Amino acid sequence: MHNLSEILNDITNSVPVDVVVTPPPFTELQNPVACLTLTYPLLFRAIRYRQRIETLIYAYYVGLIFTHSTPAQRRALQNLITKHYYLTSIKVYDVFSMCGEPAQIYQTNTLKFGDLRQLKTEEMGQLIEDLHSLVELGF
C-alpha cells in the first residue's frame, strides 16, 4: 500500500472499537536510553515475526521516546538505532499521535511499517495535514 488516500483511509478506520493496547515496555521515570534499550529489541522481534500491529506499536513507542527527549538525549539515542528505524518510528509516532493515542493503530487493516517509511517528505506532510483536518472534524 503506497497510495496516500489508501493509507489515510486505513489510519482513520474505526473498526474494531474496543481494543487493548500493548503498554509501553518502560515507565516515564526511566531515562530515554533505558526506554530505547527496552523498546528497540521488541520492535526488531515484531518485524522479524511479521507482527504488523506490534511493529507499529513499538515503532510508535520508539518515536515517543525520541519526541519527548531533549536534543542532547536525541543525539545519544540516535547512536543506538539505525537511521531507517529512527526516521520511520518518528513518522509512525507523528501519524498516530495526531489520532490521540496508539489505540488507533489497532484499527488499521493493512498499514505496514514500510508503508510509512516509503512516504516522501511531501507525502508525509500531506498525510499529516489531511489527518489534522479530519481530527478537527472529529473523525
pTM: 0.94
pLDDT tens string for the chain (139 positions)? 568 999 999 999 887 778 889 999 999 999 999 999 999 999 999 999 999 999 999 999 999 999 999 999 999 999 999 999 999 999 999 999 998 789 999 999 999 999 999 999 999 999 999 999 998 887 6
pLDDT at residue 2, as a whole number: 63
Task: Kindly report the backbone phi and psi dihedral angles of residue 14, in degrees, each rounded to the nearest multiple of 5, phi listed first.
Answer: -120, 15
Q: What is the pLDDT, as a whole number, of residue 136?
A: 86
Burial code (b: 16+ CB inside 10 Å, e: under 16) for 93-131 equals: bbbbbbbeebebbbbbeebbbebbeebeeeebeebeebb
* pLDDT of the residue at 1: 52
